[in-house]
A and B are shown apart, each in its own frame.
Chain A
Amino acid sequence: MRSKIIFELAKKIEKEANGIRDIKIMHLCGTHEDTITRYNLRSLMPKNLKLLSGPGCPVCIIPDADLQAVFHLIENANVVLTTFGDMARVPFEGKSLFYFKSKGCEVKIVYSIFDALEIAKRSDKPVVHFGIGFETTMPSTALAILDGIENFYVFSSHRFFVPAINHLLSSNIKIDGFINPGHVSTIVGVKAYEKIEIPQVIAGFEPEDVMLAVYQLVKSIKNGENKVFNEYKRAVTYEGNVKAQMVMNEVFERENWDWRGLGVVKDSGGKIRKKYEEYDALKVFEDIFSNFEIKEDPKKRACRCGDVLKGLIEPLECPLFNKVCNPKNPVGPCMVSVEGTCNIWARLGGC
């Protein structure tokens, strides 16, 4: 039944794209890449339609500077560090948070920031949470800060995703339409994308969802309609989760922050507001960060993770892909995270 629906949609896409110019559609979520590769949906696309992977993996887009700062903190302060699993495997100069754990540093992997709060309640040490994620995750970090646990701090590497879409539009890769991230959209709502002048579809994560999104995008591109369609109505509303937006904006303000591959993206950084600086690890441990210097990792010179995140190349075009860089021995974060395009292609056989 499912394959019948998918093949029917493939035929409709083919028909709609017939005779039009070459077009490029970019998705903006690692889970969409997983669906596309797992179900080999690229093989169902017409020859004039290219489905690109964008910067939708929050682990992948965090620049090495953030990672180095966290390494510097745990090397120089007696803290417990909590973070999500994928982040702990990202290497810099051959070291990762798991490396520091093996050397006796207290690094704890949590499923939720609320698990980190429980660790803080039981600990007499400062507990620092390495906060990553887009608008989907930021409200939970905001809530944890608002809980006001006195030995709990956040090192914020959170990024607002919506500004990155505008940034991509000004890049040197011509994109004709976006498949917008489903769960970021649950928080920000359809309205967040309305001023972005390009065809967009907010999509769910089943292969039928993705195929339907592509079909709608081809129709919009063909008709010159710069509109946002919401295919993921079972989870996304026009307004989004207003309470989550309020909590997020209460705790975080926007700054121009760097993204791996994209460079500095205007208003995309999730900086903790001055009002909550007593929970901001950057402020609380500012003495420790005062002698921190950003370095370059020579091992990553050949890594093209940044170009993969911009949709400039596919993983197979990176000289390291599935050779020295593989899921067991990743060089760049796109091979570390299960939502990274390189990791997905290596595990599921993307092409």
Chain B
Amino acid sequence: MCLAIIGKVESIEYPFATVNFKGTKKKVRIDLIEDLKIGEYVLVHVGFAIQKVDSREVEQYNEIWENVINSLQ
């Protein structure tokens, strides 16, 4: 229920943004996030962004996961 996933903001049409979750795009509410910009990452829970997430950390995570996936192939 309290699940939340990280996605990248692709476009903003306040109070909505289109967020890309590794290829799956979803329109989410962004009212509760201050000063959100295209290209930033957000944590999304039940259709609304609950927090901005540090881009460098997300990119590092993505890199780790890509390495894991590649090592399985």
Interface on A for B, CB 8 Å cutoff?
1-2, 29-31, 56-59, 84, 86, 111-115, 132-134, 136-137, 139-140, 143, 181-184, 186-187, 234-237, 241, 243-244, 247, 337, 339
Bitwise interface map of B from 43 to 67 toward A, beta carbon under 8 Å scored 1, else 0: 1011110110110011000000000
Cβ-defined contact, A244 with B2, below 8 A: no
Contact in complex: A186, B3 (CB < 8 Å): no
Check B2 against A136 for contact (C-beta < 8 Å): yes
* Interface residue B1 (Cβ < 8 Å from any Cβ of A): yes
Residues of A contacting B: mostly: loop
Evaluate contact between B32 and A186: CB separation under 8 angstroms: no
Chain B, residues 4-15, CB within 8 Å of chain A (1/0): the string is 100000000000
Q: Is the CB of B1 within 8 A of A132?
A: yes
* A184-B2, A234-B57 known; A137 vs B51 contact (CB < 8 Å): no
Q: A58-B1, A137-B2 are in contact. Are A115 and B47 (CB under 8 A)?
A: yes
User: Which residues of chain B are near A234, meaning CB under 8 Å?
Assistant: 53-54, 57-58
A137 close to B43 (CB less than 8 A): no
State the Cβ distance, B73 to closest chain A Cβ, in Å. 16
- Give the CA-CA distance A187 to B46 in the complex, in Å: 14
Q: How far is the CB of A322 from chain B (nearest CB, A)?
A: 23
Residues of A within 8 Å of B46, CB to CB, are 84, 111-113, 133, 137, 140
Cα distance A140–B51 in the bound complex, in angstroms: 13
Contact B50 A30 (CB under 8 A): no
CB-defined A-B contacts under 8 Å, sample of 21: A29-B2, A31-B2, A111-B47, A114-B48, A133-B1, A133-B2, A133-B46, A136-B4, A137-B46, A140-B45, A140-B46, A143-B31, A182-B2, A183-B2, A183-B3, A186-B4, A186-B50, A234-B57, A241-B32, A241-B33, A243-B32
Contacts from B to A (Cβ < 8 Å): 1-4, 29, 31-34, 43, 45-48, 50-51, 53-54, 57-58, 68
Known contacts A113-B47, A235-B51, then 19 further A-B pairs from the complex at CB < 8 Å, ordered by chain A residue:
A112-B48, A114-B48, A132-B1, A133-B2, A134-B2, A136-B1, A136-B2, A136-B45, A139-B48, A143-B32, A186-B50, A186-B51, A234-B53, A234-B58, A237-B51, A241-B33, A243-B31, A247-B31, A337-B1
Task: Determine the distance from Cα of A37 to Cα of B24 in the docked complex, in whole angstroms.
Answer: 28
Quick check: B1 and A139 within 8 Å, CB to CB? no
The 4 closest A-B pairs by CB, nearest first: A112-B47, A183-B2, A136-B2, A244-B32
Q: Is the CB of A30 within 8 A of B2?
A: yes
Residues of A within 8 A of B32 (CB): 139, 143, 241, 243-244, 247
**B49 shortest CB reach to chain A, Å:** 9
Determine the chain A residues whose CB is within 8 A of the CB of B1 once the complex forms: 30, 57-59, 84, 86, 132-133, 136-137, 337, 339
Cβ of B68: which chain A residues have Cβ within 8 Å of it? 1-2
Query: Cβ of A114: which chain B residues have Cβ within 8 Å of it?
Result: 29, 47-48
Contacts of A236 in B (CB 8 A): 51
Chain B residues whose C-beta falls within 8 Å of the C-beta of A29 in the assembled complex? 2
CB distance from B11 to the nearest CB of A (A): 17
CB distance from A231 to the nearest CB of B (A): 13
A243 touches B34 (CB 8 A): yes
Q: Which residues of A contact B31 (CB under 8 A)?
A: 143, 243, 247
> What CA separation (Å) do A107 and B29 show in the bound complex?
24
CA distance A132 to B1 in the complex (A): 9
| Set of chain B residues within 8 Å of A113, measured between Cβ atoms | 46-47
**Minimum Cβ distance to chain A for residue B14 (Å):** 13
Could you tell me the distance in whole angstroms from the C-beta of B64 to the nearest C-beta in chain A? 8
> Which single residue of chain A is at the shortest CB-CB distance from B3?
A31
CB distance from B50 to the nearest CB of A (A): 5
- Kindly report which residue of chain B lies nearest to residue A111, judged by CB atoms: B47
- Bound complex: CA of A337 vs CA of B1, how far in Å? 9
Q: Which residue of B has the minimal Cβ distance to A30?
A: B1
**Contact (A139, B2) CB under 8 Å given A186-B43, A235-B43, A241-B32:** no
